[in-house]
Chains A and B, each alone.
Chain A
Amino acid sequence: MVEGIRTDRAGAGFKPQHFQPIIENKAQAGFFEVHAENYMGAGGPPHARLERLRRDYPLSVHGVGLSIGGAAPLDENHLLRLKAVVDRYDPVLVSEHLAWSTHQSGFMNDLLALPYNAETLILVTDHVDRAQNVLGRQILLENPSSYVTFEVSTFDEVDFIREIQRRTGCGLLLDVNNVVVSCTNHGWDIDDYIGRFPLHAVEEIHLAGHDAREDDNGRPLLIDTHDRAVEDRVMNLFRDVIRLTGPVPSLIEWDTNVPDWPEMMTEIEKISSALRAESIQEVMNDVA
């Protein structure tokens, strides 16, 4: 069993089709992240693969179905399923999204946007508290990618996240692709977003590819597709961020049109190089 996550090697979202090459090549990846919901079955090959993977790599469990941004209390059944996965695999990191997906017991299968105001601040705070209490550990909350905003929002996204973090003591998962996607879609300033983001609480970073389109008015519309390599713009933002945070566990999410393992490894290596460059820079700064 592997203990912590080394920060000189990036990780990846784990895809079952990569299992053999990862194990056979002893792939130079720092860790693997799985979607919790894919391991909520009773048994079978998914669990067998994950048990094997965790012998060689630290794991991160990433929930996509808790609906932390929903109005109703968290689904306790789902929370217990998540706890079962977390207890079984003892991951180094556990994360969820600032989004909603369930309403009146119907699951929507997407990470949907919520307004940021006094009402949702209380709801989200309660939900993060509840999740951390049941899981018995800190969770990381991920900044969303979004395509619409709400008239009833009274908080800016960064202020809202900062307040959730302050009230719950949760950690943050900074998805730099989501930052680029949302800032572009809503005309927010990326430097300002990162400049005000509570980076001290960032314990993990996500990178991914996105699709560039236009909306009905010819304005840029970026879509968080996870279906390609990381754009240069996102990689550059990543380098800027780790200059501020220092190296933190970072990974590529590639969930659709998943490439063969060598291409995935190329992406991991790109992120690893940036992490190592930052480590070296830190040492140089200490020496100087």
Chain B
Amino acid sequence: MWRESLHILRNALTDRNAPVPPGVIGTATRFGVYRNNVEWGLMNALAEAYPVVLRLTGRDFFDALAQAYTEKNRPASPVLHEYGATFGDFIETFDAAQSLPFLADVARLERYWLEAYHAADHDWLHLSLLSAIPEEDIDHLRLGLHPSLRLFQSRYSAVSIWQAHQVAEFPDLSTIAFEPEHAIMVRPALDVHVHSIAGDAYGFYTRLKAGQRLGRACGDLDQTENGDPSTWLADLFGMGGVVSLDQPDS
């Protein structure tokens, strides 16, 4: 019986136009307190997870966006920092957000940032460890990457836009070119570091993350106009991104 009532209550709590369910003693205002709590709580969770999206859109627009999202997407678990993982994809389909083509990418970057923030802690390795490995084995190495490491790409300069919002509340975006950008983020200790990288480096790190051996990940990219794999590898160690070196069995 309570199970059936819960079903009706749940539906009434998520539908603003639903009447107070039968069997509930309390006026619409009283029942509405619960409805407001549920809605406000989810919108607030999104606002906390997407602070740059909030600043880019302003409160009213963000609330409309968040409300539309929460109506279709309920949290799957009580761990609310996991809620809203698909917000970026939703923004891309939200008509009123089409005038801000970079918004969905900024949201995706903020989601990766939050994932990195809550990811497992792990010690990382120094580059010098590589020098202990025989040169002929280096190409066969498989690198274990930090649990917080995320690779991000945007068609619309989301990295620059996000970074500008880390140094100013409402930065001037007029100098931003809205072009493809790439970033790698790692949280080696307490702070999440977001590094802008070139597209070729992004491809290299993506192959490493997919578990390709170092030699294959380098591919035919001995040297490009944007840098070379040995520099990217040193950078990856330098940012605390490597946690293990898996030697080939044979």
Is B118 in contact with A100, judged by CB distance below 8 angstroms?
no
Is B77 in contact with A149, judged by CB distance below 8 angstroms?
no
A–B pairs, 19, beta carbons within 8 Å: A38-B81, A41-B118, A43-B121, A48-B121, A70-B6, A71-B6, A81-B79, A100-B6, A106-B10, A107-B78, A109-B41, A110-B37, A110-B41, A112-B13, A185-B30, A213-B29, A215-B27, A216-B28, A221-B30
Is B75 in contact with A41, judged by CB distance below 8 angstroms?
no
Is A48 in contact with B41, judged by CB distance below 8 angstroms?
no
Q: How far is the CA of A47 from the CA of B148 in the complex (A)?
A: 15
Q: How far is the CA of A147 from the CA of B30 in the complex (A)?
A: 5
Chain A residues positioned under 8 Å from B75 (CB to CB): 106-107, 109
B9, B26, B34, B187, most chain A CB atoms within 10 A: B26
A138 is an interface residue with CB less than 8 A from chain B: no
Chain B residues positioned under 8 Å from A77 (CB to CB): 77
* A226-273 residues at the B interface, CB under 8 angstroms: none
Chain B residues positioned under 8 Å from A48 (CB to CB): 121, 190
Q: Chain A residue with minimal CB distance to B192?
A: A44
B3, B30, B122, most chain A CB atoms within 10 A: B30
Q: How far is the CA of A103 from the CA of B147 in the complex (A)?
A: 32
Is B78 in contact with A150, judged by CB distance below 8 angstroms?
no
Is B30 in contact with A148, judged by CB distance below 8 angstroms?
yes
A285 is an interface residue with CB less than 8 A from chain B: no
A43-B121, A71-B3 as given contacts; A64 in contact with B78, CB under 8 Å:
yes
Chain A residues positioned under 8 Å from B13 (CB to CB): 108, 112
A95 is an interface residue with CB less than 8 A from chain B: no
Q: How far is the CA of A71 from the CA of B3 in the complex (A)?
A: 5
B117 is an interface residue with CB less than 8 A from chain A: yes
Is A147 in contact with B10, judged by CB distance below 8 angstroms?
no
Q: How far is the CA of A195 from the CA of B6 in the complex (A)?
A: 32
B96 is an interface residue with CB less than 8 A from chain A: no
Is A221 in contact with B6, judged by CB distance below 8 angstroms?
no
Contact pattern, B 114-125, Cβ under 8 Å of A = 1, otherwise 0: 000111111000
Q: Chain A residue with minimal CB distance to B37?
A: A110
Interface size counted on chain A using CB atoms at 8 A: 53
Chain B residues positioned under 8 Å from A40 (CB to CB): 79
Contact pattern, A 22-62, Cβ under 8 Å of B = 1, otherwise 0: 00000000000000011011111111100000000000000
Q: How far is the CA of A152 from the CA of B25 in the complex (A)?
A: 10
Q: How far is the CA of A218 from the CA of B15 in the complex (A)?
A: 25
A223 is an interface residue with CB less than 8 A from chain B: yes
Interface size counted on chain B using CB atoms at 8 A: 44
Is A120 in contact with B41, judged by CB distance below 8 angstroms?
no
A134 is an interface residue with CB less than 8 A from chain B: no
Q: Chain A residue with minimal CB distance to B121?
A: A43
Q: How far is the CA of A40 from the CA of B33 in the complex (A)?
A: 28
* B51-84 residues at the A interface, CB under 8 angstroms: 74-81
Is B38 in contact with A152, judged by CB distance below 8 angstroms?
no
Is A42 in contact with B24, judged by CB distance below 8 angstroms?
no
Q: How far is the CA of A16 from the CA of B74 in the complex (A)?
A: 26
Q: How far is the CA of A39 from the CA of B78 in the complex (A)?
A: 11
Q: How far is the CA of A213 from the CA of B5 in the complex (A)?
A: 28
Contacts A147-B31, A151-B25, A215-B30 supplied; 7 other A-B pairs, CB < 8 Å = A41-B79, A44-B119, A75-B77, A78-B78, A106-B74, A108-B10, A108-B13
A125 is an interface residue with CB less than 8 A from chain B: no
Is B25 in contact with A148, judged by CB distance below 8 angstroms?
yes
* B240 CB, nearest partner CB in chain A, Å: 14
Which residue of the partner chain, among A44, A70, A105, contacts B187 with CB atoms under 8 Å? A44
Q: How far is the CA of A174 from the CA of B148 in the complex (A)?
A: 40
